[in-house]
Amino acid sequence: MSKIILKSVMFQGQVRDILISGKKFSKVFRPLTPKDFDKAEIVDCSGLAILPPFYNGHCHAAMTLLRGYADDMPLQEWLQNHIWPFEGKMTPKDIEIGSRLAVLEMIKSGTVFFADMYWHRERTMKVVKEMGIRASIGVTFAQGLMTNEAIENNFKFIKDHKFESDRVKLAVMPHSIYMVGEALFKRCAKTAREEEMILHTHLSETAKEVKDCKKKDGCSPVELMDRYGVLGDNFVAAHCVHLSEQDMALMAESGSAAVLNPCSNLKLNSGIPKIPKMLDSGMLVALGTDGASSNNNLDMHEEMKVASLLAKALGKADILNADDALKMATASGAMAYGVEAGVIAEGFLADALLVDLKNERLNPRHNLVSNWVYAADSSAIHSVICDGKFVMKNRHIDGEEDIVREAEACAKSIASRC
Amino acid sequence: MSKIILKSVMFQGQVRDILISGKKFSKVFRPLTPKDFDKAEIVDCSGLAILPPFYNGHCHAAMTLLRGYADDMPLQEWLQNHIWPFEGKMTPKDIEIGSRLAVLEMIKSGTVFFADMYWHRERTMKVVKEMGIRASIGVTFAQGLMTNEAIENNFKFIKDHKFESDRVKLAVMPHSIYMVGEALFKRCAKTAREEEMILHTHLSETAKEVKDCKKKDGCSPVELMDRYGVLGDNFVAAHCVHLSEQDMALMAESGSAAVLNPCSNLKLNSGIPKIPKMLDSGMLVALGTDGASSNNNLDMHEEMKVASLLAKALGKADILNADDALKMATASGAMAYGVEAGVIAEGFLADALLVDLKNERLNPRHNLVSNWVYAADSSAIHSVICDGKFVMKNRHIDGEEDIVREAEACAKSIASRC
């Protein structure tokens, strides 16, 4: 089993040596012995601090190709005249190129996991495997956009690829209650339960969705999920902007998780998530970035800070403190997706950030977590570790210039054909 | 006169050569002649784009020393038990050290100007002169905290130091309507008018301030400013969270400017600024960071993105577009403080950012301004130019490690005595 020793790394205010054995942290709090150093790769981490990395609970990775393609317009105009025509031209190869830019951006901004809802999943899976991070890759269902055969192929794909890899797992992702009807939604939920998979959907993103649901089904979207038997600890709902207190109680009691995407929700005028009430309800709340066409980045640090600010603005100055905000962006996302990571502790998967303590925004160091959450940005990130391996060292990822160049050429080519 | 040619720099979608002569842009749109190259310093800017830099309309620079010292608690506890005791121990030398860390952080995040309200102004002025950026340095008035002699000395200082330097100008800064009474406020306003100086104050930051003002004076804080004769095109009010439509009309008609500090306002639960209505009123709206003890950084890019998101969340998805958000964080701040800069154009002061077009968040490049405003962070900034000189080249500032180290030691020492 491979061994890495993070030598002289700052952790919780003390300089320590941390041992990673294989994919896990094996010594964090206990002192290392001479035997631990046998055949270990020793990485000098003096001047660096270790922190948990980000787990992005909701995104559409390949949509990085649409970053800045259309902004600042009403939702329907944005979708119909710009986003959909562009997406209509995207080939599987384009999706691979867009996913690669997305994973590059995620690693550089400290993210080691993302949940992805998109098309041509095998391309995104390939990129994630190559680049060394984790993902929960959606088998996406959307009626109207798919033939019955495509839907059946989805279910077949799930059976065939369930145990795809340690780092890349499949999840069942019916798009939303307005794109997937009752029968298919229930079948998705049944499959997810039987195969022990995560079920992920967009839920209560806009006031219109809630209103339409009440009109059609006589209940809120969360209540509809309850009626369908979808709620449970394998259920992760993206957005959840417009939850009632009853909705929150249902989510909390069932062990369901919400993934908030505050930057996207604000930018698209979908609403401001009611973070203080969600926290009060006891439900599991994690964070995501949504796609780069509506954010316009995949920076979980930004979501963490914005979520924390909104919580304080809507509630009180003393809620969602720095430690809790960090947990929301890290361990809570890992927990929602069943990844045993997001905590720097023995027995957990060895995922981590190393931040540069010389960075001006991490100083003075009255409180490193506060500095990281409220003051820093991605410029403080020095290295990123996932699954016991460095996926970025000293701010550089092999081949990054090529990834950026290829994505630029690809996006320009698609745009020229729209 | 010194000449710099920015060779092969991307500007508004085209690769150009830009000539800076002395402190100003002298050729931006026109082609350069062989004579322009005579004795010019030629800087290869291929792969870089030029953008206007940030103008921070409200901060308390030396409070970087309190970054992360106290967070996530009610305002009164925060001020009385943490911030004030720490500030009580700060010497002029400490303020110099804190200001130096602040200016370092500002340059690294693309800011070339700040308006500063604090104490021991001569120390902050010294730092700004040394480090090459611009500032409007407050002569701060706060009754109760100052003797009459100190107040008279302030007025004397104004007379003696008015024309301090091109880059460093004084401004008259009565703290707020609750720290400065009618007579002194009026005297401040008269002095500012006579000496052609900016008058800057905190205004309508909290609901309590507005309520107290209505109770005591029977009007809103902006109406009180109107009654005092303070409003006008040399008046810049920080915060303006709780303005009525009547307040906005008064500000707009008088040519007064508001500087919003959304991150600080949200974090301290002061409220969410009503950006859409302010924009509708036609008033000049700029941005600031407030101090690092309540933000917790001096990153104008973050304020720009958060302001843009809040505008869309409170208004519609198509307001405060990327160009307008960029203007709010750049040219509008310069305009509020009477600095002829913030626009990359001939005749304007040569202040600029160079961003690295290889940065993953600036790609694909459907729209560079959108990418910069919505997707990037400070990691995309390559170099910073102020007053015709590079103040940062290739992400490095001479002596930055020492500045950080000195600030850390200084802050720890103060904290140990609190």
In DSSP notation, A366-390 reads S-HHHIIIII--GGGEEEEEETTEE
Crossing angle, helix B221-228 and helix B207-217, to 10 degrees? 50
| DSSP reduced 3-state for B287 | strand
Q: Nearest CA of chain A to the CA of B11: how many Å? A: 17
- Residue A260 has a pLDDT of 98
List the end-to-end C-alpha distance of chain B, in Å, as a whole number: 51
CB contact under 8 A, B74 and A316: yes
| DSSP reduced 3-state for A134 | strand
- Half-sphere exposure (CA, 13 Å, Cβ side) for A318? 7
DSSP state of B353: E
Instruction: Kindly state the helix (H) or strand (E) to which residue A221 belongs, with its residue range.
Output: helix A221-228
Strands (E) in B22-92, as ranges, are: 24-27, 41-44, 48-51, 54-59
Residue reference for tokens 């005092």: B228
Specify burial of residue B183 (Cβ count, 10 A radius: 0-12, 13-18, 19+).
Answer: exposed
Q: Which token pair is B408? A: 């850390």
Rounded to whole angstroms, how far apart are CA atoms A128 and B16?
39
Q: Which residue of A has its CA nearest to B362?
A: A67
pLDDT above 90: residue B25: yes
Distance of CA B17 to the CA centre of its chain: 29
What torsion do the CA atoms of B318, B322, B328, B332 make, to the nearest 10 degrees? Answer: -110
Assess whether the previous peptide bond of A265 is cis (omega < 30° from 0): no
ipTM of the complex: 0.97
Residue reference for tokens 């794109």: A179
Query: Helices then strands (H, E): number in chain A?
Result: 17, 16
Q: Nearest CA of chain A to the CA of B286: how many Å? A: 20
Beta-bridge partners for B4: B20, B41
CB contact under 8 A, A364 and B410: yes
CB atoms inside a 10 Å sphere around CB A152? 11
Q: Give B292-310 pLDDT, tens digit per residue.
A: 999 999 999 999 999 999 9
Q: How far is CA B289 from CA A61, A299, B151, B294, in A?
A: 32, 21, 27, 9
CB atoms inside a 10 Å sphere around CB A143? 17
Max CA pair span of chain B: 68
**The Cα angle at residue B174 between residues B172 and B176, in degrees rounded to 5:** 145
Instruction: State residue A91 phi and psi, 5-degree precision.
Output: -90, 170
pLDDT band at B163 (very low <50, low <70, confident <90, very high): low
Residues 6+ apart with CB under 8 A from B37: B5
Residues 6+ apart with CB under 8 A from B204: B210, B220, B221, B222, B237, B239, B240, B241, B242, B243, B247
Q: Yes or no: say if A50 and A368 are a contact pair by the CB < 8 Å rule.
A: no
Q: Yes or no: say if B235 and B173 are a contact pair by the CB < 8 Å rule.
A: no
- Half-sphere exposure (CA, 13 Å, Cβ side) for B113? 34
Q: Give B138-147 pLDDT, tens digit per residue.
A: 999 999 899 9
B-chain residues near A267 (CB < 8 A): 308-309, 312-313, 317, 374
A vs B: CB pairs below 8 A: 223
Rounded to whole angstroms, how far apart are CA atoms A224 and A176?
11
Q: What is the 3-state secondary structure (H, E, C) of A147-194?
A: CHHHHHHHHHHHHHHCCCCCCEEEEEEECCCCCCCHHHHHHHHHHHHH
CB atoms inside a 10 Å sphere around CB B242? 23
Rounded to whole angstroms, how far apart are CA atoms B198 and B55?
15
CB contact under 8 A, B317 and A69: no
CB contact under 8 A, B296 and A267: no
CB atoms inside a 10 Å sphere around CB A217? 14
Q: Nearest CA of chain B to the CA of A335: how many Å? A: 25
CB contact under 8 A, A65 and B364: yes
Q: Nearest CA of chain A to the CA of B230: how many Å? A: 30
pLDDT above 70: residue B173: yes
DSSP code per residue over A243-306: --HHHHHHHHHHT-EEEE-HHHHHHTT-----HHHHHHHT-EEEE----TTSSS---HHHHHHH
| DSSP reduced 3-state for B169 | strand
Q: What is the mean pLDDT of residues B48-57?
A: 98
CB atoms inside a 10 Å sphere around CB A318? 15
Specify burial of residue B358 (Cβ count, 10 A radius: 0-12, 13-18, 19+).
Answer: middle
- Of the candidates B74, B321, B404, the beta carbon closest to that of A363 is on B404
Q: Yes or no: say if A113 and A133 are a contact pair by the CB < 8 Å rule.
A: yes
Rounded to whole angstroms, how far apart are CA atoms B139 and A38?
63
Rounded to whole angstroms, how far apart are CA atoms A313 and A311?
6
Closest CA to A318 of B82, B269, B64, B207: B269
**The Cα angle at residue B134 between residues B129 and B139, in degrees rounded to 5:** 85
Q: Yes or no: say if B50 and B8 are a contact pair by the CB < 8 Å rule.
A: no
A-chain residues near B358 (CB < 8 A): 401, 404
List the end-to-end C-alpha distance of chain A, in Å, as a whole number: 51
A-chain residues near B404 (CB < 8 A): 358-360, 363
B-chain residues near A411 (CB < 8 A): 363-364, 366
Assess whether the previous peptide bond of A174 is cis (omega < 30° from 0): no
Print pLDDT tens along chain A (418 aa).
899 999 999 999 999 999 999 999 999 999 999 999 999 999 999 999 999 999 999 999 999 999 999 999 888 889 899 999 999 999 999 999 999 999 999 999 999 999 999 999 999 999 999 999 999 999 999 998 999 999 999 999 999 887 668 899 999 999 999 999 999 999 999 999 999 999 999 999 999 999 999 999 999 999 999 999 999 999 999 999 999 999 999 999 999 999 999 999 999 999 999 999 999 999 999 999 999 999 999 999 999 999 999 999 999 999 999 999 999 999 999 999 999 999 999 999 999 999 999 999 999 999 999 999 999 999 999 999 999 999 999 999 999 999 999 999 999 999 999 9
State the sign of the Cα–Cα–Cα–Cα dihedral B56, B62, B68, B72. negative
- Residue A381 has a pLDDT of 98
Q: Which residue of B has its CA nearest to A97?
A: B364
Residues 6+ apart with CB under 8 A from B136: B113, B114, B115, B116, B169, B170, B171, B198, B200, B337
Rounded to whole angstroms, how far apart are CA atoms B305 and A223?
35
Specify burial of residue A219 (Cβ count, 10 A radius: 0-12, 13-18, 19+).
Answer: middle
Q: What is the mean pLDDT of residues B139-158?
A: 95
B-chain residues near A104 (CB < 8 A): 360
- Residue B341 has a pLDDT of 98
pLDDT above 90: residue B99: yes
What is the rounded average pLDDT for all residues in chain B? 97
Residues 6+ apart with CB under 8 A from A239: A58, A202, A203, A204, A205, A258, A259, A260, A261, A265, A270, A273
pTM: 0.98
